Amino acid sequence: MQFNPLNADYLKRKMPRRIFACTGMAAVLLVSACRQDMNNQPKLIPQRGSALFANNMGVLQQVANTVARGQLQSDKYFYTGLVEGANGEQKEQDLMPYPVTMQILKRGQERFNIYCSPCHSRVGNGLGAIDERGYKPAANLHDQVHLAQPISHYFYVMTHGHGAMPDYSAQLTPEDRWAVAAYIRVLQRSQMVAAKDLPPGTIARDLKELAQEKHLPAAFAEPWSLPATAIQANQPDKSQGFPALAPAYPSTPDIHVPPSKPGPTK
């Protein structure tokens, strides 16, 4: 196909007009789309009044004597971890609200490793990865105080938080919180179990032997040392074992915490 200079000259004369026409059409479409009713939409905004209802409220109140789905919570202990005593005092209990199965323990282990191990470590000794970054050491779940705590104490702390630990009610459902509490109890037992308590036929091996087989350093089977970067925000309480932490009793005075007692011996 041969190039025609007349066509090129024609394009030079017509192209600016076409560009201007397209630009004008786009501007008209843009202006026509910016109508005021896109800003003032017919919708209800939370916490604002509305003329739609007779009481001029934008949010209707729950109908009296009704329970919304998911709010029944008929089993108070399952959702709170507390039982009301005869004098009205709320007390923690060393009792699971349902039978514990291996599936529940595996679920608790999974949730513990995800949400708890960064602070408490996977063995629960409070020397997680946060200590290496300058944070206050987390609670040692194997000290005398925590060994004496009832199992619902862990559920309560996960629900409401305690000290520097935030609550995990948004991350963990009540079922998962109980599963984690059950796994914590198993984890505590696993670090304190004696050979006589093992099921018949179970072979107990020393951790040092296993470390040697895996070509791990000898320090792997020894107690973990507290990193130099760890800090103590409060005065430590040496009765809680090592590392000595600040008092871990709940700040709520109506929560009953059993007195500390010696943990099981090997």
- The predicted-structure confidence for 143-186, as pLDDT tens digits, reads as follows 889 999 999 999 999 999 988 899 999 999 999 999 999 999 99
Domain presence at residue 14: no
Domain presence at residue 48: no
pTM: 0.60
Query: Which residues form the domain of 252?
Result: 91-193+227-256
CATH of the domain at 112: 1.10.760.10
Domain presence at residue 183: yes
**Number of domains the chain is built from:** 1
Domain presence at residue 104: yes
Taking CA atoms, 78 is separated from 29, 150, 162, 173, in Å, by: 59, 14, 19, 11
Query: Quick one: pLDDT at residue 58?
Result: 82
4 pLDDT band (50/70/90 cuts)? low
Domain presence at residue 73: no
Domain presence at residue 9: no
Q: What is the mean pLDDT of residues 207-218?
A: 83
Domain presence at residue 22: no
Query: Quick one: pLDDT at residue 100?
Result: 96
Domain presence at residue 46: no
